Structure 1
Amino acid sequence: MNIDIEKLNAEMRHAHPSEIIKKAIEIGGDRPMVSTNFRPLEAVVLDMATKVKNDISIVWVDSGFMMPQTYAFAEKTIQELKLNINVFVPKMTAARFGGDAAIPSAEQEEELAAFADIFKLEPFRRALTEVNPSLWFTSLRQEQNQNRAAMDIFDMDSSGMLKCNPVFYWSESDMETYIEEQALPDEQRYFDPTKPSLNHECGLHKSGFLK
């Protein structure tokens, strides 16, 4: 896939996320995928993507550590948007690991990295192998943390898979407005055991993860 990423980012900088999704599918091949963790405001990209392609593959890595509210939100969103959901789970259960009490702290860097690999990265690598997407949509936004501020709408990994963050330049207020206007489900109570702080990244969106 021969794409000038820098030029593409400049062209789509002020485009509406829905137009970005259409453009990405147009140039990104016939196997698009949306990843989701059903955190707050996740229904925005899921709704936009399914309105462009109603059978688009949705990948959810369920760590087993999610809050009951998150599972309820996930099921409601899956049903209301009729999502073509593909759920991947770790090879070790949360209970076997030791439950919430065994989750490493931010100070335990090596242990936390190993934990993230077991409960998020390995299942996601499996998802990529099975779903085999040519295009990956995320809900990443520039304002979320300093690590993501350096990213952009489009990127490409070494295998040629195009990655697209259609709401990258949207604010939280933009996302909330879309949720309200489209009457989409949402849930504010959320817990990600692989991210003990706002600026911590589990590794899924770090450079080199897909290489």
Structure 2
Amino acid sequence: MINLNNVNNLTLNEKKNFLYTQNIILKNMSAKERISWALENLPGVHILTSSFGIHSLVSLHLMIQQKKDIPVVIIDTGYLFPETYHFIDKISKKLELNLKIFRPKISSAWQEVRYGKLWKKGLTGIELYNNLNKVDPMKRALKDLSVNTWFAGLRFNQSNIRSSFSILNLHQNIFKFLPIFDWNQKMIDDYTTYYQLDIHPLYKKGYISVGDIHTTIPFQSGMLESETRFFGLKRECGLHEKNKY
């Protein structure tokens, strides 16, 4: 039996074999069953990350049904939409979330003085912007909270990078668990309707994905979903790209 509390001591083949075998089993479980298995079998500390985006309450609701006090990590770049800040306040109070907010070490104002408006400097500028405002704070969150298992609401059909993930992944030496990884949009909508979950207010204004105010635009007919973020230059902000860690 593999000791999951000592992942560092596993060989590469042991890690691959465990992930492969367990993902076959997890594939046939419901999201609730997956979460229950993960909380029981994967090492703590457990956290859930949330962007408080359009349909973010699905993963939040699923998790807090089984672990009410799970730390919910939000990365505050300083450039979120006003609607997002209001949404975070509303949902945090309503669900009594154990919210953990992490921010960049350099303020948004100081960054603009030092680097200019990075999001206007093409892909290179966007990459630096994401590293400063998203990836570095997330690294700090993982370290400061001593995280061993990271839950997230990613789905395989959201981007090419995400399609390469599985339900259970190893993110460096941290388990990353994606309980709704294989859900389609109808499943998300049905769950949202059944439990009468809140939806981000910008959804009514045509947004299907919400990030920072200057790199997110509403969806328009004929667009790809990826074109609503980062001017179509990229889809991911770096939080879930393994090479960033």
TM superposition score normalised by structure 2 = 0.78
Residue of structure 2 equivalent to 1:205: 240
C-alpha distance in 2 between matches for 1:102 and 1:185: 33
Q: State the partner residue of 2:11.
A: none
- Is 1:17 aligned with 2:52? no
Distance 1:150 1:168 in 2: 11
Q: CA deviation at 1:92?
A: 2.1
Higher relative contact order (Cα pairs below 8 Å, separated by 6+ residues): 1
What whole-Å deviation, never above 9, does each CA across 1:81-118 have from its counterpart, x for those lacking one?
Answer: 1110000111222233339x92424x722221111111
Which structure 1 residue ranges, 5 or more long, are not aligned? Answer: none
Tell me which amino acid in the other structure corresponds to 1:125: K
Q: Following the alignment from structure 2 to structure 1, what is the Cα–Cα distance between the partners of residues 192 and 233?
A: 23
TM-score by length of 1: 0.89
Counterpart in the other structure of 2:190? 177
1:64 counterpart letter in structure 2: G
Contact 2:77 2:104 in 1 (8 A): yes
Aligned pairs, how many? 207
Alignment partners' CA distance in 2, 1:158 and 1:95: 32
Show structure 2 runs of 5+ residues with no match: 8-14, 217-228
Q: Give the root-mean-square deviation of aligned CA atoms.
A: 2.1
Identity across the alignment (%):
25
The CA distance in 2 between the partners of 1:46 and 1:128, in whole Å, is: 19
Q: How much does 1:206 deviate?
A: 1.6
- Give the Cα–Cα distance (whole angstroms) in 2 for the partners of residues 17 and 208 of structure 1: 28
Alignment-derived partner of residue 52 in structure 1: 66
Offset of residue 13 of structure 1: 1.0
Asked if structure 2 preserves the Cα contact closer than 8 Å seen for 1:153 and 1:168, the reply is: yes
Contact 1:139 / 1:168 at 8 angstroms: preserved in 2?
Answer: yes
Alignment-mate amino acid for residue 102 of structure 1: K
Residue 209 of structure 1 aligns to which amino acid in structure 2?
A: K
Alignment of 1:1-211 (within 5 A): 1=4, 4-98=18-112, 102-105=117-120, 108-159=122-173, 161-187=174-200, 188=203, 189=207, 190-192=210-212, 193=215, 195-196=229-230, 197=232, 199-210=234-245
Q: Highest Rg: 1 or 2? A: 2
Query: How far apart, in 2, do the equivalents of 1:198 and 1:185 lie?
Result: 30
